[in-house]
Amino acid sequence: MQPAGMEPAGMEVAGMGRAGTEPTGMGMAAMEPAGLEPAGLGTEGIEPAGTGTAEMGIAGIEQAGTGTAGMGIVGIEPEGMGTAGMEPAGMVPPEMEPAREAEEPPGSPALPAEPAQDGPPAAVPPGQGALPAAPGREREQERGRRGADAQSSTGRAARGRARRASSRRSGGESARRAGVTVDSSKAKTSLEALKISLRQLRWKEFPLGRRLPCDIYWHGVSFHDNNIFSGQVNKFPGMTETVRKITLSRAMRTMQSLFPVEYDFYPQSWILPEELSLFVEEVRMMKDNDPSWKPTFIVKPDGGCQGDGIYLIKDPGDIRLMGSIQSRPAVVQEYICKPLLMDKLKFDIRLYVLLKSLEPLEIYIAKDGLSRFCTEPYQEPTLKNLHQVFMHLTNYSLNIHSGNFIHSDSVNTGSKRTFSSILCRLSSRGADVKKLWSDIISLVIRTIIALTPELKVYYQSDIPAGKPGPTCFQILGFDILLKKNLKPMLLEVNANPSMRIEHEQELSPGVFENVPSPVDEEVKVAVIRDTLRLVDPQKKKRKDTQCQSLEQAREGSQELPEAALPSLCLKQVFPKYASEFSYLRLVDRVAALFIRFLGVKGTTKLGPTGFRTFIRNCRLSNSNFSMAAADILYIDITRRWNSMGIEKESGNPGMCLQAFVEAFFFLARRKYKSLPLHEQVSALIECCECRLAALRRKRLVWGCGIAERQEALPGTGTAPGPGCTSPPQPRGHQAFRFQKSSQLKVLMCRDRTGS
Ligand code: ADP
C-alpha cells in the first residue's frame, strides 16, 4: 500500500535510514550487495525458482493452465499487441453534466475568488498538445515544439474557418468553449502528471481551487479532501478503508468461502491477533496432511505501506507477539515461494485499474503498468535468507536504497520497467501472454467484485440518494505477483497508487535532486489523461449534439478532438465481460439488503431494530428460529465484530456489513442445509428479494385501497396511488389483480425456496 504523500523516493522507511540502515524486521544481511548481474543485461530472461541453473528459456515456464477456473477471456490485447477491441469512451450518466459557470451551488466551498482563472481557457503552452505521454521532460518539450510547428501551419486556415463559423454559432457555444474545469488544488504528489495530462487535453486547471464549482476535483488522498457537492471526484468514499490489508483479506476470504476456485489468486491469509490460534491450528493440520510441505509466511502490518514492518517466518511460533501487535493488527499470509524471475530477480507488477462507476459497475484496466524489481538474486526462502529484504520484497521504496538499484532510462531496463516490456520478453520466449493477460483481467474483475459491497455501504452513507453530491471514479493500483507457472497472484490493492513521475537521485553524498523518471511518466500520464477522457463530462453533450456538423463541433471547442489524441490506454473489462462474472456478485446483493434496512441515512451499521425488521420483512423467523433467536444472533455476531481491530476504532456499536454477511450465511446454511454455500446464499437472497418485492406490492395495494376508498367517499376525487396507473377499472378490480399477483409471487417464491 502506498498512500499519496508517502512517496518512496527519498523518504525514510520505518527503521531504515537513507544510507542503508536495516529495514524493520529484516536483518543486516539484506544490505550486502550480492554481485548482482545488472537487471536488463541478462540474456536468458526467465529462470525457474530455486533451481540454481541460470539457463532456461520461456519454454521452461509451466503455464498456469487451470489458474482461473478454466476461464479465458478472448480478445484482450496486451499493450503493444494492437488496439482491437478498444471500447468507445463516454458512458457518462446524465448526472455528470458539467457545472454551469454562473451557478453558485448551495454551500459551495468558500475559496477566494480568482478572477484570472475564470477568464478565457488556460493558455496551452506551445506544443503541449495531442501527443501521447513520452518519457522525459526533454522529449516532452521536443514533442511540444513539433506540435507547435504543425499547428502554426494549419493555424491560419483554422482561424479563418473559426471566424467564418463564429457568425453561425449560438450563445450556447461559449459554455462549450470554456472546456472542462479541473480543481487540482488537492492533487498532492499526482500534480505533475495531472498537469501534463490537462495540457495534453487542453482542459482548464484550477491549481488553487475555485469559488465556482469545477467539473472534476482531483484529490491526492481521499474523497474527503474537499467538501464537494457537484461534479466528479477521483476518489470513492471508504476506498482507503476497504482496501486496507485486513479488510481486503476479509473480503477475499468471504469470496473464497463462496467461490474457492475462482478466488484462488489470493494467498491464504489469517488476521492477527484474532486468528492467531486458528492460524497455528490450520498450519499444523496442513503439515500433518502433507509432511513434505515446508511453508513460509509473510507478516504484514495492517495499514502499513512500502514494506514497512513486513517480515518472513517459517514457523507460526515465530510471530512477534511482543510490542504493539494488539494495537497494530496484521495479516499473515502464505508466502509465494516460486515467483517468476527475470534476470534472476523477483519482480511484481503494478497495474492501474479505473473504477469508473460503482452503480452500474464499470471497470477499465490500463494496458500498461510497471514492474518493480528486487535488487538481489532470488533464492527460495531459507532460515538464512529470510531477512534479506532486497531479495524478497519488491518495494521500490526499499530497493532504491540498495547499491544495486538501477534507475531506468528506458522502459525495458533497470529496476523499474514497463509491464509491456516484460510481456514482450515473455512473448518472445513463447509464453502465452494472451492467457496471462486474460487471467489478470479475471483477477481484477473478481477483486473489484469482492470490494463493491463494502464500497456501496460507504457510498450511500457519504452521498445519500437524493442529496447533492459528486459522482466518483478512482484509479486503483493492483500489486500482482506472477508465479513461476505464470499464474497471477494478488498481493494488494492500493487506493492511492503513487502517481509521481520523478524520483530523487543522490547526485553526491547527501545531495539529492528530483529527476524525471521516464518509465513512470510514460505509464502514469497516460493513465491519468485517459481516465479524464473517460469521465469527460462534456463527452455526452458532444454526442448529444450530433446534429451539428463535425467541423462546427471542432471549431467550437478549445479541446482537442478525440481523433487527435492517442488511442485510449484504458480498456473496458466490465460490463464488457459481465456475463462471465455476474454470478459472483452474491455479496453485492446481500449488501443491497443490508443497505435497505440501514434506515437512517449516513450510517454504515445496522441497529438491532433494522436487523429485526429484516428478519420480519423477509419472513425468516419461524417455529425453529424465533425473533428472540434472531436477537441473540445479532448480539453475538455484532459483539464479536465490534471487538475486532478496525471495527473497534469506528466507535459505532451497530452491525457492520461483514457481520451482517456472516449472519446471512448462518441463516442460509440453516435454511438450505444440503447445498454448497454459494447455492445456499443465492437461495436465501432470492427468497428475501422475492418476499420484499411481494411486501412492496402488498403495500402498494394497501395504498391503492386507501386511495380508492377515499375516491369512493362523496366529494373526494383522489387520484389512484402510485403503481395504480392503468386505465380506470371497475372499483376493486385493480386491487384484486395486484393482490392476486403478489400472492402468486409469494407462492412461487415459497416453491422456489422450498420453504
Ligand atoms: P506494502 O503495502 O507494505 O508494500 P505488500 O503487501 O505490497 O505490502 O508487500 C510488500 C512486498 O512483499 C510485495 O511487493 C512483494 O514483493 C512481497 N510480498 C507480499 N506478499 C507476498 C506473498 N504473499 N508472497 C510473496 N511475496 C510477497
Predicted local confidence at residue 186, as pLDDT:
92
Percent over 90 (pLDDT), the chain: 54
Q: In angstroms, what is the span from residue 392 Cα to ligand 1's centroid? A: 8
Q: Quick check: 94 pLDDT over 70?
A: no
pLDDT number for residue 509: 81
* Residue 23 near ligand 1, beta carbon < 6 Å: no
- Among 345, 379, 481, which is best to mutate for testing ligand 1, by the most ligand atoms less than 8 A from CB? 481
DSSP-derived 3-state class of residue 748: helix
544-602 confidence digits (pLDDT tens): 565 454 445 444 555 666 778 999 999 999 999 999 999 999 999 999 999 999 977 77
Q: How far is the CA of 333 from the centre of ligand 1 (A)?
A: 10
Query: From the CB of residue 147, how many other CB atoms can be counted at a distance below 10 Å?
Result: 20
- 415/340 Cα distance (integer angstroms): 15
Q: Give the pLDDT confidence score for residue 646 in this predicted structure.
A: 56
Tell me: the pLDDT tens digits for 388-418? 999 999 999 899 989 999 988 777 889 999 9
Average pLDDT (476-484) is 98
| pLDDT value at residue 42 | 32
CA-closest residue to ligand 1 atom 27: 335
Q: Could you tell me the three cell numbers for 600? A: 437512517
Ligand 1: which residue has its CA nearest to atom 10? 307
DSSP string spanning 502-566? EEEEEEETTEEEEEE-HHHHHHHHHHHHHHHHHH-HHHHHHHHTTTS-HHHHHHH-SSPPGGGSP
Sequence-distant (6+) residues with CB within 8 A of 702 are none
Report d(CA 752, CA 639) in Å as an integer: 34
Q: Give the bridge partners for 574, in sequence order.
A: 363
State the pLDDT at residue 417.
Answer: 94
Residue 197, pLDDT above cutoff 80: yes
Please give, one letter per residue, the 3-state secondary structure of 57-108.
Answer: CHHHCCCCCCCCCCCCCCCCCCCCCCCCCCCCCCCCCHHHCCCCCCCCCCCC
Per-residue model confidence (pLDDT) at position 412: 80
User: Tell me: the pLDDT tens digits for 38-49?
Assistant: 333 232 333 333
pLDDT at 362 > cutoff 80: yes
Mean pLDDT to the nearest integer, 147-157: 38
By alpha-carbon position, which residue is closest to atom 21 of ligand 1?
335
CB count within 10 Å of CB 578 equals: 15
CA of 365 relative to ligand 1 center, distance in Å: 21
- pLDDT (average), residues 685-694: 97
Whole-model pTM: value is 0.75
Exposure of 287 in the CB half-sphere (CA atoms within 13 A): 12
Residue pair 581/446 in contact by the 8 Å Cβ criterion: yes
SS3 143: helix
Most confident residue range from 154-168, 472-486, 500-514, 636-650: 472-486
Atom of ligand 1 nearest to the CA of 346: 16
Q: Judge if the beta carbon of residue 588 lies within 6 A of ligand 1.
A: no
Rounded to the nearest angstrom, the distance between the alpha carbon of 394 and the centre of ligand 1 is 7
Pocket test for ligand 1, best of 395, 484, 493 (most atoms within 8 A of CB): 395
The arithmetic mean of pLDDT across residues 188-215, rounded, is 95
Residue 675 has pLDDT above 70, yes or no: yes
Give the nearest ligand 1 atom to 308 CA: 3
DSSP string, 427-441: HHTT--HHHHHHHHH
How many whole angstroms from 563 Cα to the centroid of ligand 1?
40
Could you tell me which residue, 281 or 75, shows the higher pLDDT?
A: 281
Q: Is the pLDDT of residue 182 over 50?
A: yes
Q: Is residue 711's pLDDT more than 50?
A: yes
Question: Does the beta carbon of 76 sit less than 6 angstroms from any atom of ligand 1?
Answer: no
